Structure 1
Amino acid sequence: MSKAKISLAGVSKSYISENEVTQALHKINLDFYFGEFVAITGESGGGKSTLLNVIGGMTGYDDGEMYVDGEPTFQYDDADWEEYRRRKVGYIFQDYSLIGHYTVLDNIVSGLFAMGKSKEEAESLAMTYIEKVGLKGYETHPANELSSGQKQRLSIARALAKQTGVILADEPTGNLDSETGLSIVKLLKEISKECLVIMVTHNYEQVEPYVTRKIRLHEGVIISDIQVRESKENKSDEKAGTADTGEVVSSSVSTEKNGKKETAESDEAAKYTDTWYAKFFVMLNLKTQRAKAMLFTLFLIVVSAVSFVLIGELNLKSDDICTKNYDGLAFARQSDKRISVKKKNGKKITADDIKQIKKIRYIENVDSCDYANDINYYIIEDRDYEMQYGMQITQREIQGSATPAFLKDDKFMLSTDCITKDDLKKGELPKKMDEVVMYSDDDKLIGKEMDCYFSAYNIWDGDDYIKCTVKVTGILKKKTTQVYFTKELCNMLSMNLDSSDFRLLYDYDVSMGDYKAKRKFIPVINNELKGNEVTLSKNLNGDYPGDGKHKLRIQKLDENGKADGDYIEEEMEVLSKKNEDSRNFMEVSREFFYKYYSPKYLQASVYIANYAKTDYILKKLEKSGYYAVSTYRAGATSKSDTKEQQRLVIIGICTAGLVVMFIAGFLILRAMMTLNVKEYIVFRFIGMKKGVLRRINYIELAIYCVIAMVVALVLAFILRLAGVGFITDITWYYRFGTYICFVLYNILLCAVTAMGFNHYVKRRFHQ
């Protein structure tokens, strides 16, 4: 007889549990030859399946030696046994071990891909053996739609297509009715003419007419090995032995023997790398398991969305500005989007400067009237202010008076620098000092005159206010409470910060040779006055200097508000007409005002899209030649212990949430993946490389993860457009580094899950 295909010499195998050692095989000596159809029988637990697993390289042995084509296997490592299963043996299982969602063709092709076959060769071989086992016409049918007999025939075709020369069948008829089982036995008998078939069975009577040899095991020991009938001598024994797709690769043998053949195959299928095979199976799984793909993707969308929020919130709370109180002493307008800028060369800010600044990303508006941006306005009665009536005692009489009571100090001036003609729904931009544009549902508001009051506690005294009658010239498209004023009005009201000191001199004392009263006034323009005419406030009360001619001392101030040179005296005509401003204002003619004052435009207010971009814009402005300061940071100077505690609590909750979600996500994802663990074990049984299996898991989860992250980001963008507050704040704080953290968190979760599942598959396979 020819050389044994597989030989076992004194092979023993034991299983060790916590309390005992069970010997499954004891000193097994067997030789198996090409062309045999061997039946292994015995009671349950007698060692039949263990013997088959040892022969198939699925279970290692403890003692003795197993020879394959005359070569020992004692030195085999995991990679060698993997190669052995891939190229030397084909499996037929009692439960078929098919991939149910794969088609008949794909089930066979997957086994051939495990051997490294090219796509064309694999499909050609698969079609040959599909026809051979009687499944022609079922190529595109999913395996889970086949009958039991058809499933077993498919399992046989998958094993035969590998052309290994050895077929191992573990109870192949156990789940079949007698008639179908008999047809499978007959098929195996026919197959045994071309290879070695070793079958484990409990129903020896069914297979007795067809097998050539019967081996009986009892408690791990061979009690009989009977030649039932002679096997047909197969003259192509040696040819078949060398027609395998390759010998087992070990550290010291086989490489040289089959080197030429393996090199030829490698050259032929150079493009079919492990990564190519992994991608093929990933695409096949996505195509045939849409429900699974949807389930994983939906779960990861939830994880991605929550992680996006938590990471964004952590990033937002990394700025401790949220723990500070705003005092408004430096800048009355409490806006975290405002930046005050000056040119480093000390020159005025021009229209060209404004155009240049607006080119910086995230800058929305630039107002050259910076100081006026801290002046409050009150234009709608009963919304912004209400009139209070009472009695006022003057030097001459007691009379009724009405004074404004300001309801809210939340509206601040902006000049027409911040709007264009395109912002108007109707009308035109203001041209004269007392003209404004605002939003209204009523277009008839255009042309209407309205009383408007102004106050500025960080420019004037706290109780000072001025009244102007303004005319509406345009209606804004965008619904807003913001009113836009002319640059002339803005500069006039803020001149007290960067102009001159005006003191009205009266009550001359001859003995002193000087004026007793040198009251300081803030000049404002009254278009009805001419020359040196002035009106004073009716609220001046007992300090009123009286009508007639008085001298006004004017002294220029430097940029720090200090006297700059000698003063000038002008003779003024105080009219009997009283204005309705607070007592520290003096109304003067336009020509007199501009005689001593001209707008300097040394400082501008820049408004950005969101506070999160403050540092970025400050750096850009500094590089462009400007001194820049965030008015919000300048005003938020005092810390709040309560706010700091809240910030730390939120940081702790977000951090804990990310950790808990990572652990829970890992456990849930792995549990979901274990539902398909049998498929991966089947792949391992048919010899698929561990590297390919690992890549399949990594690539699949990576695809789900990328889709989930993209969906989460799109959802965040949509919610931001919809104006959802906390999402808007979070997205503004997302920078390149934050996005990297978001991506790494989700990718790491999937990578750790895939790694854990790969280890789980490995343990299950060895079990």
Structure 2
Amino acid sequence: MQLRQSIEFRGKEMIKLRNLSKFYYSKGIIASGLSRINLDLEMGEFVVITGESGSGKSTLINVISGLDTYEEGEMYIEGQETSHYSVGDFEEYRKKYIANIFQNFNLVSSYTVYQNIELILLIEGRSSADVKDKVNDIIDKVGLTEYRNTKVSKLSGGQKQRVAIARALAKETPIIVADEPTGNLDSESAEIVVRLLSELSKDRLVIVVTHNYDQFEKYATRRIKLNDGKLNEDDKIKAVENSEDMKPTEFDKIKAASKLKLGFRNTFNLIPKFLLTLFVFLFLVFAVASQYTSYKAQNDTLNNLGFNSFFMNGTDDRIVFKKQDNTPLTDADYEQVKKLKNVARIEKNDLILDTNVYIEGESTNLDGYPASRENMPKKLVAGRLPEADDEIVVSYYSFNKPQGEPKAIFDDNLKINLDGGGTIKCKIVGLAVKDSNTISLSGASTLHMSEALLQSIKNSALRRVTNVELTINGKKAPSSEGSMQLVANEKVPAGNAFVTEEVDAFYDNGVSKGKKIDIQAKNIYYTDTITVTSQNTYNKSNYKRLLGTEDEYDMVSGKIYISPQDYNYIFEKPDYQSSVFIKDTDDDKLAAVEKELDKLGYKTISLKKAKTSMDELSIINLIRVPMFVIMTVAIFFICYFVIKLILKSRGVYFSILRMLGLDMKSIKQVLDIEMLTIIHIAYGLFMGFAYLVKIKVVDVTTIQNMVKFFALSDYIILYIIVIAMSLIISRKFAKALFKSSAMNSYREGAQ
């Protein structure tokens, strides 16, 4: 290394580096960016840093600027150590000491020339009115007067460089750091810029990185040459003239009015981004309103009709019971309940009593509610009693007879479509007519099945009320219909999974094969987890072979297929809630059964009483309230992931704000203003649309039903919910911006 120290320097020491090193980490590989750099940089110097590409020039000035971190050694600013600096300390340092001229300009492309220069002054706490003359003078100084109101995205490379220089001039800091400031300029413009930087160095420290030292040679006071991250040469060429040093910038916090101005400006300056975000927020408002309306409508129905709107099998002889400690029911419990007076039978699979099952065939389509064979009619009008597990007897009311001749129904190839995905083959072998004096279920048929079929349907029904969450490569992903839905498939070996191509995207190398996927199932009764291994990724060319299906690809894509054993492990659980059917529904005798059940430690709901009394809502609310919350959270995450993709393009903008010295809190507030502005527009459109529906200018049945259940208090509650959700989305995105240094955040956003 060649160091020349013969020339006497008289400037004030500003920056001192001692054994400073910088490392980069990538996929387990450590690379050295800078190695044990020692430098003293003083006010009044015009320092030119040269070296080959990859020698560490940009890394050095990024560290000096506080845009990037260092791992070893020390950097002193006016004698103060910086190794202990936090993110906030470096932001204050950049704001107070540094004006950057970036190689890639780092301008806000959607802003005009004026707005880009004004931005740095707003960040310093000045008002728009106060800086107007100064901004215009600087624009004139760099020769961009006619482009004052032109968006930067429409400028040439040379013009953008002049905007970047103008922004640095506006900041008036003691240190100017320029990365290839003449790289995009013609020789005449380059000479003007170099001469301007030389003049600025009289009372500042100016540090320039360049590949073309000849342009700076007659102005530079010092030349530093790097090679492979090491200081190779340090030539002090000219003495520093004595002059009054520029002081660190005095600044206030950015004004509230400026934050509002930036927030509103960012909302509308990119119209496609604004419209996309508005569309997502409109979906958020309408989706949450729909869920809230559904919840209110169920309340209204329950208050008027009792539980029958939820417990579809609402016969007077049914009493729903569960343990008070919410543990599973056992055979001992059932034996205990069977011994009570007035008990006719127990239906263990309580959940399926209220599950409507659809059976489809080539010529047969019917639906009904499943039930065990124990209470199956013994007298059939056609066919025979079932023998095999897949055989079903249908009992129906005379006014609701299945369509088609019995023989055609018996000979048809039938299947049951399950809520959780997949089908079960079945066969109808007998038909029976119900007693017309016991009509229930709105005249629906009853499907008498084997315990094996009932268990499959119960598992499917349980899937409907269970929240499933996947953990893939350490990242959470909800499993729901249309998005990574779990489906049982006999072609999948136990402990494995055939996954959609979306799963591969969770890994940097785009390959999930051999990786673990954690599946967590959670509902109001239990939480359970199973781990499977991604064995194959199916796509349009191989899905028929892997899954053994002839369905169209759109019908199978987006799902995760696991073995029936693993699927049943998650959803084949003990009964937590069952129903007892009594012989005599007299009020006193019914109350006596309830009293005995209470003594034995069970919670009960009498469906007969529920029709007129709503004192017992606990069991329903155990399901309804969590389901409302789950659906609302699902809507939130759908919107968050979409908005995150939209806002990713804004990552560069917010990284630029960080580079210019805007603090974390203010950036979050600017983003909050942007998100709140759009959500208020979306909510205003929703309110306007609801009003037009209410006065019948617009005739949309769905919205009419929604408006019918909304009072003023409900609009306020909805407003609070969507505002809170928009703020959470904003804060989650803002938090991600500050996980790394300003330079790393910029690189990630620019990719």
How big is the shift at 1:739? 2.9
How big is the shift at 1:166? 1.0
Query: 2-side partners of 1:88 and 1:27: how far apart?
Result: 24
Q: Is the partner of 1:236 in helix, strand or coil? A: coil
The size of the alignment, in residue pairs, is 430
- The 1:70–1:648 alpha-carbon spacing in structure 2 relative to 1, beyond 3 Å, is closer
> Structure 1, residues 150-190: CA drift from partner, whole Å, max 9, x if none?
21111111111111021101122334455544543343334
**Structure 2 residue aligned with 1:36:** 45
After the TM superposition, which residues 681-700 of structure 1 pair with which residues of structure 2 at under 5 Å, given as runs? 681-700=655-674
Question: Does 2:116 match 1:107?
Answer: yes
Question: What amino acid sits opposite 1:22 in the alignment?
Answer: A
Which of the two has higher C-alpha Rg? Answer: 1
**Structure 1 residue aligned with 2:558:** none
**Structure 1 residue aligned with 2:319:** none
How big is the shift at 1:89? 0.7
Question: What amino acid sits opposite 2:729 in the alignment?
Answer: T
Q: Is the partner of 2:738 in helix, strand or coil? A: helix
After the TM superposition, which residues 363-382 of structure 1 pair with which residues of structure 2 at under 5 Å, given as runs? none
Q: Is the partner of 1:174 in helix, strand or coil? A: coil
After the TM superposition, which residues 292-303 of structure 1 pair with which residues of structure 2 at under 5 Å, given as runs? 292-303=273-284
Within the candidate set 16, 26, 29, 1:20 is matched to 29
After the TM superposition, which residues 227-376 of structure 1 pair with which residues of structure 2 at under 5 Å, given as runs? 227=236, 229-231=237-239, 233-237=241-245, 240=246, 242=247, 244-246=248-250, 274-286=255-267, 288-319=269-300, 320=302, 321-322=304-305
Within the candidate set 47, 54, 57, 2:63 is matched to 54
- The 1:136–1:647 alpha-carbon spacing in structure 2 relative to 1, beyond 3 Å, is same
Query: 1-side partners of 2:683 and 2:653: how far apart?
Result: 28
How big is the shift at 1:220? 1.9
How big is the shift at 1:211? 2.5
- The 1:713–1:646 alpha-carbon spacing in structure 2 relative to 1, beyond 3 Å, is farther
Query: 2-side partners of 1:161 and 1:325: how far apart?
Result: 72
Please list every run of 5 or more consecutive structure 1 residues that lacks an aligned counterpart in the other structure.
247-264, 267-271, 327-632, 640-644
Query: 1-side partners of 2:610 and 2:25: how far apart?
Result: 70
**Structure 1 residue aligned with 2:586:** none
- The 1:648–1:734 alpha-carbon spacing in structure 2 relative to 1, beyond 3 Å, is farther
Which stretch shows the higher mean deviation, 750-759 or 68-77? 68-77
> TM-score by structure 1 length?
0.51
Within the candidate set 673, 678, 681, 1:707 is matched to 681
Query: 2-side partners of 1:708 and 1:215: how far apart?
Result: 56
**Structure 2 residue aligned with 1:618:** none
**Structure 2 residue aligned with 1:585:** none
Within the candidate set 217, 230, 233, 1:221 is matched to 230
Query: 1-side partners of 2:94 and 2:651: how far apart?
Result: 19
> Structure 1, residues 333-366: CA drift from partner, whole Å, max 9, x if none?
xxxxxxxxxxxxxxxxxxxxxxxxxxxxxxxxxx
**Structure 2 residue aligned with 1:98:** 107
Query: 2-side partners of 1:746 and 1:62: how far apart?
Result: 43
How big is the shift at 1:122? 2.6
How big is the shift at 1:77? 2.5
How big is the shift at 1:97? 1.1
Question: What amino acid sits opposite 1:153 in the alignment?
Answer: R
**Structure 1 residue aligned with 2:706:** 730
Question: What amino acid sits opposite 1:101 in the alignment?
Answer: S
Question: Does 2:149 match 1:140?
Answer: yes
How big is the shift at 1:141? 2.4
**Structure 2 residue aligned with 1:154:** 163
- The 1:157–1:682 alpha-carbon spacing in structure 2 relative to 1, beyond 3 Å, is same
After the TM superposition, which residues 474-553 of structure 1 pair with which residues of structure 2 at under 5 Å, given as runs? none
8 A contact 1:215–1:224 mirrored in 2: yes
Question: What amino acid sits opposite 1:116 in the alignment?
Answer: G
How big is the shift at 1:711? 1.0
Q: Is the partner of 2:232 in helix, strand or coil? A: strand
Query: 1-side partners of 2:624 and 2:80: how far apart?
Result: 67
Query: 2-side partners of 1:741 and 1:212: how far apart?
Result: 66
Q: Is the partner of 1:709 in helix, strand or coil? A: helix
8 A contact 1:314–1:654 mirrored in 2: yes
How big is the shift at 1:651? 8.2
Q: Is the partner of 1:35 in helix, strand or coil? A: coil
8 A contact 2:62–2:68 mirrored in 1: yes
Q: Is the partner of 1:763 in helix, strand or coil? A: coil
Q: Is the partner of 1:225 in helix, strand or coil? A: strand
- The 1:724–1:112 alpha-carbon spacing in structure 2 relative to 1, beyond 3 Å, is closer
8 A contact 2:289–2:718 mirrored in 1: yes
- The 1:208–1:224 alpha-carbon spacing in structure 2 relative to 1, beyond 3 Å, is same
Q: Is the partner of 1:235 in helix, strand or coil? A: coil
8 A contact 1:324–1:638 mirrored in 2: no
Query: 1-side partners of 2:141 and 2:621: how far apart?
Result: 72
Query: 2-side partners of 1:673 and 1:713: how far apart?
Result: 26
8 A contact 2:305–2:612 mirrored in 1: no
How big is the shift at 1:668? 0.6
> Structure 1, residues 100-156: CA drift from partner, whole Å, max 9, x if none?
222222211110121222334432332232222222343222222322222111111
**Structure 2 residue aligned with 1:757:** 733
Query: 1-side partners of 2:620 and 2:13: how far apart?
Result: 78
8 A contact 2:47–2:223 mirrored in 1: yes
How big is the shift at 1:649? 9.9
Once the two structures are aligned, what percentage of the paired residues are identical? 32
How big is the shift at 1:654? 6.0
Question: What amino acid sits opposite 2:651 in the alignment?
Answer: V
Query: 2-side partners of 1:637 and 1:58: how far apart?
Result: 68
Question: Does 2:12 match 1:8?
Answer: no
8 A contact 1:46–1:219 mirrored in 2: yes
How big is the shift at 1:81? 1.3
